[in-house]
């Protein structure tokens, strides 16, 4: 987790909780955001599965060519899985 994200969530949650004008729903939303941000990230292979599915859909919709999708996926795999 990036330190800036943790600091931002901590400050915004504390500010929301400390303010008398903040509604209970705002505090709940801040807590939910903090739980999402601070939750563990999916493992790299699960992320790559999602990327592969998204790129396959983009190819089907003619948003990218199969070659572009393959190059992009290979680049991301290198970063996420450490193959590069």
| DSSP state letter for 75 | H
Winning range, highest mean pLDDT, from 2-6, 38-42, 51-55: 51-55
Dihedral angle of Cα 25, 7, 44, 57, to the nearest 10 degrees = 50
Q: Is the pLDDT of residue 9 over 80?
A: no
Closest CA to 52 of 81, 83, 36, 76: 76
Q: What confidence category does residue 84 fall into, taking pLDDT thresholds of 50, 70 and 90?
A: very low
Split at pLDDT 50, 70, 90, the class of 83 is low
CA distances from 1 to 7, 20, 78 (A): 10, 30, 20
Overall pTM > 0.75: no
Summarize the confidence of residues 27-47 as an average pLDDT.
72
Average pLDDT over residues 14-38: 63
């Amino acid at each position: 987790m990036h330190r800036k994200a943790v600091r931002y969530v901590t400050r915004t949650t504390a500010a929301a909780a400390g303010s008398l004008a903040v509604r209970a729903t705002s505090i709940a939303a801040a807590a939910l955001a903090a739980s999402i941000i601070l939750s563990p990230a999916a493992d790299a292979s699960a992320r790559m599965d999602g990327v592969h599915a998204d790129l396959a859909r983009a190819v089907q919709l003619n948003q990218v060519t199969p070659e572009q999708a393959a190059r992009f996926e290979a680049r991301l795999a290198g970063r996420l899985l450490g193959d590069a």
